[in-house]
Amino acid sequence: MAYVVTDACSGCRYTECVTVCPVECFHIDDRMTYIDPENCIDCGGCAPACPVGAILADYLVPADKREWIGINRNRAGETPVVSARLPPLPGAEERRRMLGA
Ligand code: SF4
Ligand code: F3S
């Protein structure tokens, strides 16, 4: 099992999640973060830290978002680790409101 960043992160990228991860699972690109499932120890700390609820345990990812499990695995292998908080992306607050979070 592992935790998974889903599409709600894209365009927000608040990075609150990366500050709570004890094992530096998070990787980043210019749109969002991804969790490396090989490193995740399922502590669950990151999920409640995300202001838009983008992070789910893999067994709770709904059917229409299951593709994000593979996307996290693949993109984590292609992108650098992030372990410090960054400013959210421009427009993150507007997108958070749009998501109803
Ligand atoms: Fe890191 Fe824990 Fe989130 Fe896994 S569940 S990515 S170990 S904070
Ligand atoms: Fe994305 Fe939420 Fe983390 S918006 S960067 S998963 S805090």
Contact 25, 101 (CB under 8 A): no
Name the percent of the chain lying above pLDDT 70.
100
| Structure confidence at residue 87 (pLDDT) | 97
- Cα 50 to middle of ligand 2, angstroms: 5
Domain boundaries, the chain: 3-87
Nearest-CA residue for ligand 1 atom 2 is 43
Q: Is 28 in the pocket of ligand 2 (CB under 6 A)?
A: no
**Portion of the chain with pLDDT greater than 90, in percent:** 98
Average pLDDT over residues 17-28: 97
Q: What pLDDT is stored for residue 14 in this prediction?
A: 98
CA–centroid distance, residue 18 to ligand 2 (Å): 8
DSSP E strands: which ranges in 26-99? 26-28, 33-35, 55-57
pLDDT tens-digit profile of 47-76? 999 999 999 999 999 999 999 999 999 999
> Right CATH number for 3-87 from 2.40.50.180, 3.60.90.10, 3.30.1360.30, 3.30.70.20?
3.30.70.20
Residues 45, 99 contacting (CB under 8 angstroms): no
Ligand 2 centroid – CA 28 distance (Å): 10
Banded pLDDT at 18 (limits 50, 70, 90)? very high
Residues 6+ apart with CB under 8 A from 92: 11, 12, 13, 14
Is the CB of 72 within 6 Å of ligand 2? Answer: no
